[in-house]
Amino acid sequence: MSNVSLRGESRWLPAVSLLAALLLAPSRGHAQPITVPEPTDATRRHLVARRATARLEIDGRLDERDWRTAPVAGDFVQARPDFIPSTRYPTEVRVLFDDENLYVGAFNRDSAGLSTLRMPDLRRDFEPPENDVFGITMGPLGDHRTVLQFSTTPLGSQADVQAFDGGDAFNFNWDALWRVRTTRSDSGWTAEFSIPWRSLRYAPGLTSWDINFVRNTRRVAQWSAWMPYPRQLSSWRITYGGVLDSLQPPPPRTNIRVRPYVLGQRITDRTAKAFNGSLGDVGGEVIWAPTANSLLEGTINTDFAQADVDRQVVNLTRFSVFLPERRQFFLENADLLNAGGLGAGTIGGIGGVSGRYFVQPFFTRRIGLGDDGTPQPIDAGMRYAFRSGRTTAGALAMRQAALGAQGATTFGVVRGSQFFGRATRLGATAALRDGTVAGPDGILTDRRNTMVAFDALTRIGELTQFTGMVSASTENGRTGLAATYGINRNTATLLTGVLGAVVSKDYNPQMGFVSRPDVVMTNPFVTWTLQPKRLPKSVVWLRHGPNAIAFNDPQSGDLQEANVTYTGELLFRNGATITPALEYNVQRPNLPVTLFPSVRIAPGQYDYTRLGITLKSDQSAKLAAQLVATSGAFFDGSLDRAELTTRWSPTPYVSVRGSYEINRLRSLGARDSNFVTHLAGPEVRVYLNPRVQWSAFYQYNTAIERASLNARFSWEFLPLSFLYVVYNDRQAVQGGNTPMARSLIVKLSWLGQL
């Protein structure tokens, strides 16, 4: 690690060395997985799409003549956990189309019977690894990098995702307009998809698309695919896909959608100067696709009443907490405005940066939300998106209404990216936040913040990748700079690389997020995947490796803090894991660290070691659990932490979840001080079918002395048209000073195609 000195601090090395020896011991005689070669034009499979000659009834039966006579894609291979050029669970896929829709029919053979199918619940955008799944991965732009994936379970739950650059960026919360119906029998299950051309963005005149079909047979945790792909990647790496030939997408035509809503709510809020009473509102969006690969959207009175609530966390770090975007409007086409940097999704979250350190020059949560997550009204906005085989562009402009002492604020961002050669992308982003803020004296002053960023990605082959980003922000005459980089190579047995960031003190993008400025971050990591021949048949692999992350002062080079973790993972064939970890920490705060109002740690030098273990059961079973437990020293005291999450699904139509976290801090700051936090989160979901559900989620957090309840009923009465009834309740607990607030919201939104 650069600029890091740990002289006199090597007493932790014997423990790490011992763990490494134990993990490496079984490596003699291990079996090497078969390497999946990158397809060539000669080895890629082809499937012909046929034009339907009659109307198809989307009922999950595939009994029409067009289905029976269509060409078949079969001979699936096992892709995970190891590549095997065959599978015990055959799948047959056919593709049809007409002037309105693309149709895909799949029969997933399995003679084990209906009782063996795994579906923990019926959520939209379900967790694919925990369900029986059939999915379609397509690349309609012909750039070999942009994919859309549509997936379903045996009970017809829907999941759709946009993925880019092979999965380096992805959006699980993208919701397209499409239909699927399924049927089940003792010999397998059938899925029938109907995807309107208007829901797709495709290159005009392109009649052959990249395509792959994937299936998860969950009871044996086996992923199979029409075209094999390396197990360390996913089917989103469409360069490993096949080809769908003879398509005839319709030429661009009028494609206008409207998504109006009406809303009524009753609010009781004891916060000072807060609104109390009843009110109604109307608003919505107009979406126009002038071409098959562009989109223009306008919104007025944008509303997010139905968005999932944030999951509370107990922050015991010296970093600001990163909370993901959950609002559907901002999640659509979010990749087009991704300015690079480090954060969630960095190298698939591997390497320790995801969840530990974030640098995102542009982050949509800065629009329409206060610093504490309180919604702020948005008057209007516009968004533009363009995709072609080599070029992408996006723009967003929003106006946030004045609220209390906060004046109105205008947000704007533009971004473009261009592909060069086979595997290089360059991008540029500019953002502006212009508004007024109230000072301590209550006087409004202008506040303008600008940001520019340039980012790049390139690959050597498909397994070695380089990323980088440089950015500058300016406010009140002060300019700050930031740069990030990532280098990694990912094979079936070895992942190695380094991530890093340099962020100056004045870097403060008001439309972005930075965990902490004024720092140099360095994060090297190595992970080995071993499959010794003498492992029990119930075990897939033994995965282990070190992960180090250090933060230094940019001016002096002095160490601010560092963490070295050695982790091992034992993966069982049912998906369960056992993951022990040994962690060594170095803390060098030069200012007091306030974890809680009653817990204040003095500046100084703190070196300590912690042990931890994560136990995870088969998450597709009716009863599933995960336990994360750590213990050891913490700054000048100690910390024992445990987090238990459970789920009971006696049937896919009922799911009961719960989480509980306890943190017991001893002798921190003052030697006689002890502090305990509790964070509990029970949740219930009840489904009539995949389109009608009710849920209730309660959070009890003693760290902030607050409890909250979110209960929501949703009915998708037409595709992407919803009725919502939402109840929110917030209360103080344990004598806290959080003002009570309650609201009941009824919202009707409708998506119409003109």
Q: List, for residues 366-378, the tens digit of each pLDDT value.
A: 888 776 667 788 8
Q: List CB contacts of 742: < 8 A, sequence separation 6 or more.
A: 267, 268, 269, 727, 728, 729, 730
Report how far residue 202's alpha carbon sits from residue 208's, in angstroms, rounded to the nearest whole number: 11
Separation of alpha carbons 4 and 310, rounded Å? 36
Least confident of 363-372, 541-550, 700-709: 363-372
Q: What is the DSSP letter of 331?
A: H
Up-side HSE of residue 607: CA atoms within 13 Å toward CB?
9
Query: Does 326 share its domain with 230?
Result: no
Confidence band (pLDDT; 50, 70, 90) for 27? very low
Residue 139 and residue 226 share a domain: yes
Count of structural domains within the chain: 2
Q: Which residues have CB under 8 Å from 495's CB, separation 6+?
A: 232, 350, 488, 489, 525, 526, 527, 529, 545
pLDDT tens digit string along 144-201?
Answer: 888 999 999 999 999 999 888 777 777 777 788 899 999 999 899 999 999 999 888 8
**Mean residue pLDDT across the chain:** 87
C-alpha 625/C-alpha 117 separation (Å) is 19
Checking if the pLDDT of 3 tops 70, the result is no
How many helices (DSSP H) and strands (DSSP E) are in the chain? 3, 44
Higher-pLDDT residue of 12 and 688 is: 688
Residue 72 binned pLDDT confidence (cut-offs 50, 70, 90):
very high
Stated length of the chain: 754
Q: How many CA atoms lie within 13 A of 456 on its CB side?
A: 10
Range scoring the smallest mean pLDDT among 4-18, 233-247, 427-441, 664-678: 4-18
**Residue 209 maps to a domain:** yes
- Integer angstrom CA distances of residue 581 from 527, 530, 624, 629, 642: 13, 17, 22, 10, 14
- At residue 323, the pLDDT reads 77
Banded pLDDT at 559 (limits 50, 70, 90): very high
Nearest to 669 by CA among 710, 637, 638: 637
Question: What integer is the mean pLDDT of 412-422?
Answer: 90
Q: Is residue 628 part of a domain?
A: no
Could you tell me if 685 and 694 are in contact, meaning their C-beta atoms sit under 8 angstroms apart? yes
Work out whether strand 46-48 and strand 242-245 pair parallel, antiparallel, or are unpaired. Answer: parallel
DSSP class per residue in 467-496: EEEEEEEEETTEEEEEEEEEEEEE-SSEEE
Q: Does the pLDDT value for residue 296 go beyond 80?
A: yes
**In this structure, what CATH number is given to the domain that contains residue 447?**
2.40.160
**pTM, to two decimals:** 0.84
Listed residues 473, 500, 517: the one ending a domain = 517
Find the CATH number of the domain harbouring 213.
2.60.40.1190
Amino acid at 29: G
285, pLDDT greater than 80: yes
Give the rounded percent of residues in the chain with a pLDDT score beyond 70: 91
Residues 223 and 367 in one domain: no
In this structure, what token pair is assigned to residue 585? 């920490």
Does 92 fall in a domain?
Answer: yes
Question: Region 200-225: what's the mean pLDDT?
Answer: 92
Query: Are residue 378 and residue 477 in the same domain, yes or no?
Result: yes
- From CA 608, how far away is CA 604, in angstroms rounded? 13
Q: Which candidate, 516, 503, 493, 501, places its Cα nearest to that of 473? A: 503
Rounded to 5 degrees, what are φ and ψ at 337?
-110, 10
Residue 592 lies in a domain: no
Sign of CA dihedral 241, 246, 252, 254: negative
Residue 473 lies in a domain: yes
What does the alpha-carbon distance between residue 325 and residue 173 come to, in Å, rounded to a whole number? 9
Residue 181: inside a domain, yes or no?
yes
Same-domain status, 339 and 452: yes
Same domain, 214 and 324: no
Lowest-pLDDT range, 129-143, 199-213, 273-287, 365-379?
A: 365-379
> What's the mean pLDDT in 432-437?
85
What pLDDT was estimated at residue 348? Answer: 32
More confident residue, 252 or 509: 509
Q: What is the pLDDT of residue 315?
A: 85
Among the candidates 179, 211, 245, a domain finishes at 245
Among candidate residues 517, 547, 573, the one where a domain is terminated: 517
Question: Binning pLDDT at 50, 70 and 90, where does residue 441 land?
Answer: low
Task: Give the Cα separation of 621 and 204 in Å (integer).
Answer: 45
Which stretches within 11-92 are classed as H helix?
Answer: 13-24, 65-69
CA distance 400 to 376: 7
Shared domain for 113 and 219, answered yes or no, is yes
Residue 21 confidence (pLDDT) above 50: no
Tell me what the mean pLDDT of segment 511-523 comes to: 92
Residue 72 lies inside a defined structural domain of this protein:
yes
Q: Could you give the CA distance from residue 335 to residue 417 in angstroms, rounded to a whole number?
A: 11
Q: Report the alpha-carbon distance of residue 101 to residue 719 in Å, rounded.
A: 15
Task: Order the strands of the 101-109 sheet from edge to edge.
Answer: 50-51, 91-97, 101-109, 188-196, 179-185
Q: Give the residues across from 485 on adjacent strands.
A: 468, 500
**Residue 330 pLDDT grade (very low, low, confident, very high; cuts 50, 70, 90):** confident
* pLDDT the model gives residue 246: 95
Query: Taking 60 as the threshold, does the pLDDT of residue 8 lie above it?
Result: no
pLDDT at position 743? 94
User: For residue 444, what pLDDT is reported?
Assistant: 66
The whole-number pLDDT of residue 199 equals 86
Q: In this predicted structure, what is the pLDDT of residue 406? A: 67
Residue 544: how many CA atoms within 13 Å on its side-chain side?
21
Task: Tell me the mean pLDDT in the region 565-593.
Answer: 93
Nearest CA to 335 out of 167, 574, 580, 471 is that of 167
Across the range 245-259, mean pLDDT stands at: 86
> Which tens digits make up the pLDDT trace of 82-115?
888 889 999 999 999 999 999 999 999 998 878 8
Q: What is the rounded distance in angstroms from the CA atom of residue 753 to the CA atom of residue 287?
A: 9
Same domain, 121 and 226: yes
Domain-located, residue 638: no
Spatial contact of 81 and 574, defined as CB atoms under 8 Å apart: no
CA-angle at 342, arms to 338 and 345, nearest 5°: 75
Rounded CA gap, 195 and 100, in Å?
Answer: 9
- Cβ atoms of 481 and 509 within 8 Å: the answer is no
Same domain assignment for residues 334 and 200: no
My answer on whether 464 and 341 are in the same domain is yes
Residue-number span of the structural domain to which 380 is assigned = 319-517
| CA 159/CA 152 separation, integer angstroms | 6
- Shared domain for 240 and 325, answered yes or no, is no
